[in-house]
A and B are shown apart, each in its own frame.
Chain A
Amino acid sequence: MSWRYRFVLLFFLFIMALIITRLFYWQVVRAQELSALGQAQYDQQVVSPAQRGEIKTSDEFTIAADKLAFLVYANPKVVKDKDKESDALSKMLDIKSATISALLSENKFWIPIKSHIDNTVKVKIDSQYLPGVGFEEQTMRFYPEASMAANLLGFVGKDENGSDKGYFGLEGYYDRQLSGKNGISIIVHDAAGHPILAKMNDSTVKVDGRDLVLNVDRRIQFMLDEELKKGIATYGAKSGMAAVMDPKTGGILAMSSFPTFDPAAYQNYSENLYANPFITNTYEPGSTFKPIIMASAMDAGLVKPDTKCTACSGPVQIGDYAIHTWDDKYFPNLSMNDVIVHSDNTGMVFVGEKLGLDRMVDYLQKFGVGDTTGIDLQGEEAPEIHPKDQWYPIDLATATFGQGITVTPMELLDAISAIANNGKRMQPQVVATVQTPDGQTIPIPPKEIDQPISATTAQVMTQIMVNAVNNGESKYYRLKGYDIAGKTGTAQIPVAGHYDATKTIASFVGFAPATDPRFVMLVILNEPSSSIYGAETAAPIFFSVAKDILLYYGIPPNE
C-alpha cells in the first residue's frame, strides 16, 4: 500500500472521528438542553389557576369570593404624549400624575402601573384609547359585605412564592380546602402559532377550591355588627366584641369585633387588627364567671339555691387581703340564688371554700377553661390554668368571682353554653357544610365535647340566671315577657401589678329563651367611659340584640 493511500485513509478516519465526536456532543452531552430548547419552540405550558372556594353564610349568600381584576401596564416606548396620558391615568387610578409620568419615562418595554383595578375603571381607561396602555387579568378576593365579620373571615394575602394564601380566621384555617390545585396544560403550536388539537393534553388536572357554608346567619351577624358598633360609640368604649352561638349544636351564628379591618384592603390597616380578639384575647371575666363556679358547687351537691351564706355579713379576710362586694353592701345569710342576683363576691368566696381547689379545677377543666375550644378559626389561644400546687388561698378566693383567672371570650361563651344546653358542652363550629366543585355536600356534624354538669343542675342554674336578669343590676334593660338567663360582669384590668379601678372590661353573657335556648351570647366592652359597669353598658347591647334575634326567630313573649 502506497503512503498516499494510507494518508487518505487516515485523513478520512480522522474526519469521521471528528464527526462522531461532534455528534456525541450534540446528541448525548447537550441532548437534554437542546431537547428543552426545541420543545420551548412549539410547546407552551399553560397554568390554569384553580378558583378559590367561596365562603357563604347559612342563607347561601356569598360573603367571600374571587373577583376579576386587572393590572394596568404601559409600554413607555409606544406612549406618545407622556404628560397627557399621565394626567388621564392619574385621575382614573388615583395615583399622582408625577408618579405615572416618572414610570412612563423609564427606558423599558413593560411597566406595571397599578394592580387589582376594578372592571369599571378598566372600561373608563379603555374608552380613552391611550396608546401603549394595556391590561392583564388578575383575580382578587372580594367581600360583598365589606368589613362584616372581617375577623371571622380573615383575608387572602401572598405566600413567599407570590401565590394566594389565606391568613387568619376561616381563610387561614380552611386555606387548603379553599385554594384547590392549579392545573397545568401543555399546548403544542403549529408554525403560525395556532394550537394543534391532537397535541393538547393536561399534565395536571385543575381542581377548584371547595366552598364553605357557614352556621353564621347573615341577618344576626348584621344586627350584631350594627348594635355593637352603636354601643361602643354610645358608651365610649375603646373596643368591643361579641358572639352569638347555638348552644345545642355549637354553631357560631355571629361574631363581631370593633375596631376591625376591611379584608379586601387589609394592607391599609394595622396588623394588630387582623387577629380575632374573641378567640385570641385573654381577660379576667369578672362576675360572668360566677355561674360556672356556682353550677360546679351545685353539681357537686355542696350548695343548693336556698343554701345560706354564713360569710356574707362583711368583707372576707383571706391572709393579708380583704375581699369586698362590688358596692360594699353586705347581706347576712344571703341565699345562693341571691349571691348570683346581687353578684356578691363574699358569697362566691363562701362557695369557693365549700368547693375546694381540687374540685374547682376539675370542674373548670370540664367546662373547658384552660383549653382551646377547638373552634375552626385560625389562631385560637387559651391561657392554661395554674397547676394545683401553685394556687394560694387568695387565688382560689378571687377565681370564684372571675378575677385572677384568665380566659378567652370564646372559652367563656362555650362554658356558659353548657348551662344552656342541659349541661352538655358542644364544640363551637363556624362551618356547617363543605361543598365540593362536583356538587357534593359534606356536612360537619355537631360535636359534644363534655358534660361538666347534670341536666338538673343546668336547669337550676338557668333559673338562677333568669332571676339575676329579672332582679339584678341589669333588670331595667330586660325584655319584658321573655325569660332570659344572664349575668353581668365588670372586671378590673390588671395594670403593673395592681387593678385600676377606672379601667374595666364590662360584659354580659346570657341565653334565650331560658326554657329552650336558641342562642347564647357574650358581649364585651373594653374600657367603657360613660359607665364602668357591665350592667349599664354591655347589658343594654345584649338585650337590644336579643330582642332583634327573638323577633327574627319569631319567638313570642310568654307573658
Chain B
Amino acid sequence: MKKPVVLICFLGTLVIVLLVARITLVNSISTTGIKLVDLQNQISTYKKENELLKVQYLEAASYTSISSKAKKLGYITVKSQIDLAAPLPMAMR
C-alpha cells in the first residue's frame, strides 16, 4: 500500500503552523494583564483628579464661600429696587 505522504506532510505542517500560531498568540497576550493594571491605574488616577477638581469647584462656587469672600472685599447686600413701571421724574436734582 502506498503511504499518504502528502497527507502526512500536510498534517505535520498544520501541526507546526498551529503550534507557532499558538506560541505567538500566547506570547502576545501574556503581558495583557500588566497593561490592564496600567490602564486601571491610569483610570483610577484620572478619576481621583476629577473628584478633587470637582470638590475644589464646589467649594469655590458655594454661596457660603462667595458670600464670605464678598464680605471681605467690602461688598454689601442691596435690597433697593427700581420699578420701571412707575413714572420717571422729568428732572432730578
Contact = CB atoms under 8 A, between A and B. Distances in A.
Asked if A and B bind, the verdict is: yes
Contacts of A65: 54, 58
A194 B65 CA distance: 46
Nearest to A194: B33
Interface in B39-93: 48, 51-52, 54-55, 58-59, 61-65, 67, 79, 81, 83-85
Given A67-B51, A119-B52, A197-B29, A148 B79 contact: no
A119 B56 CA distance: 11
A142 interface: yes
A62 B58 contact: yes
A480 to B, nearest CB: 11
A551 B33 contact: no
B37 A222 contact: no
A481 B34 CA distance: 73
Contacts of A142: 55, 58
Given A556-B85, A557-B83, A148 B64 contact: yes
A195 B37 CA distance: 8
Contacts of B67: 222, 226
Given A67-B55, A144-B58, A547-B79, A194 B34 contact: yes
Given A145-B64, A196-B33, A68 B51 contact: yes
A551 B65 CA distance: 22
Contacts of B61: 61, 144
A190 interface: yes
A197 B85 contact: no
B32 interface: yes
B52 to A, nearest CB: 6
B81 A551 contact: yes
A146 interface: yes
Contacts of A62: 58
B7 to A, nearest CB: 35
A425 interface: no
Given A196-B33, A222-B67, A551-B81, A68 B52 contact: yes
A195 B35 CA distance: 10
A145 B62 contact: yes
B36 interface: yes
Contacts of A145: 62-64
A218 interface: yes
Contacts, number: 57
Contacts of B58: 61-62, 65, 142, 144
Chain A at the B interface: mostly helix, strand, loop or mixed?
mixed
A183 B85 CA distance: 61
Contacts of A548: 79
A481 B33 CA distance: 73
Give the residue among B37, B55, B65 with the most A Cβ atoms within 10 A. B55
A556 B63 contact: no
A61 B65 CA distance: 14
Interface in A178-222: 190, 194-197, 218-219, 222
Contacts of A222: 63-64, 67
Contacts of B34: 194
Nearest to B51: A68
Contacts of A190: 33
B59 to A, nearest CB: 6
Nearest to B82: A556
Nearest to B44: A137
Contacts of B54: 65
Nearest to B81: A551
Contacts of A195: 33, 36-37
Contacts of A144: 55, 58-59, 61-62, 64-65
Nearest to A226: B67
Contacts of A547: 79
B6 to A, nearest CB: 37
A190 B85 CA distance: 79
Contacts of B65: 144
Contacts of B81: 551
Interface string A65-108: 10110000000000000000000000000000000000000000
A145 B59 CA distance: 8
A138 to B, nearest CB: 12
Interface in A290-308: none
A509 B52 CA distance: 43
A142 B62 CA distance: 12
A148 to B, nearest CB: 6
Contacts of B59: 144
10 contacts: A68-B48, A68-B51, A68-B55, A142-B55, A145-B62, A145-B64, A146-B62, A196-B33, A548-B79, A551-B79
Top 3 A-B residue pairs of the complex, sorted by shortest distance between their CB atoms: A194-B33, A144-B58, A144-B62
